[in-house]
Structure 1
Amino acid sequence: MACPENMFFLIGLFMSGVLACFGQRNLITTMPDRLDVLTGSCVQIPCSFDIDDPQKTFNSAILPSGVWIKGNQYFGERPDRVIFNSSETVNRYQGEITGNMSQKNCTTVFFNVTTNYSDIYFFRIESQPFRATDTEKSVKIVVSDFPSSPIITVSGEVKEGTPVSLNCSAVAPCPEHPPELTWTLPTTENQLQENPDQTKSVLSTVTFTPSYLHHEKNITCTSVYPVGTSNKRAEHNMMLNVSFSPKDTSASISPADSVSVGSCVNLTCSSTANPPVTNFTWFQISGGETTQVASGQSYTLNVTVGDGGLYFCEGRNSHGCGKSNEVQLAIKGQKEPMVFGVAAGTLGAILLISLISLFVWRRNSRLHDGLERTDSPQGQNSPVGTVCTNQATAGEEPEEPAEDQPEEIQYGDIDFSKLQTKEIPAAAQDRVQGQESEYAEVNVTGRGAQEPPLNNLDGLYAQVNKTGGC
Structure 2
Amino acid sequence: MSQRPAPSLLLLFLLMIPGVCSQWSNWGVWYSPSHICALQGSSVIMSCTYTYPTGHRIRKVFWTKTNIKEKNKEFPDLSKDPEYSQRLQYLGDKQQICTIRLSHVTLKDSRMYYFRFITYNPDGKWFGDPGVTLTVTDLQVESPERVTEGDSVRLTCKSSCTLTDRATFIWYRNSQPLIKGNQIILWRVSREDTGTYSCGVDGHSYISLAVQLNIRYPPVNPVISISPSGEIVSGHSVTLICSSDSNPPAEISWFKGRTFVGSGRIFNISNISSDDSGEYKCKSTYEHEDKYSAVTLNVMYPPRNVSVLITGSGEIVSGDSVTLICSSDSNPPALNFSWFKENESSVVGSGQSFSALQSGRFYCQAHNQHGSHRSDAVTVTVHHGLGWHVWLGITVACLGFFIIIIIILFIMRKRRDAKTEDHTVKQDNLYSDVTGRDVHVSESADCDDAQYATVTSSKPRRDRNAPDRRDTEEIQYATVQHHKNKQTKRSEENESQYGNIRIHQPESAVSQWHVSYSPSHICALKDSSVIMSCTYTYPTGYQIRRVFWTKGNVKEDGEYLDLSEDPEYSQRLQYLGDKQQICNIRLSHVTLKDSRMYYFRFITNITEGKWIGKPGVTLTVTDLQVESPERVTEGDSVRLTCKSSCTLTDRATFIWYRNSQPLTERRDRNNELLLQSVRREDAGRYSCAVHGHNHISPAVQLNVMYPPKSVSVSTSPSGEIVSGDSVTLICSSDSNPPALNFSWFKENESSAVGSGQSFSALQSGRFYCQAHNQHGSQRSDAVTVTGEAFINTLLYLHIIHQFGELIMMIFLFQFIMVLVGM
Into which bin does the TM-score normalised by the smaller protein fall?
Answer: 0.3 to 0.5
TM-score by length of 2: 0.22
Higher relative CO (Cα under 8 Å, sequence separation at least 6) belongs to 1
Counting helix residues as a fraction of each chain, which structure ranks higher? 1
Identify the structure with the greater strand proportion.
Answer: 2
State the TM-score, normalized to the length of structure 1: 0.36
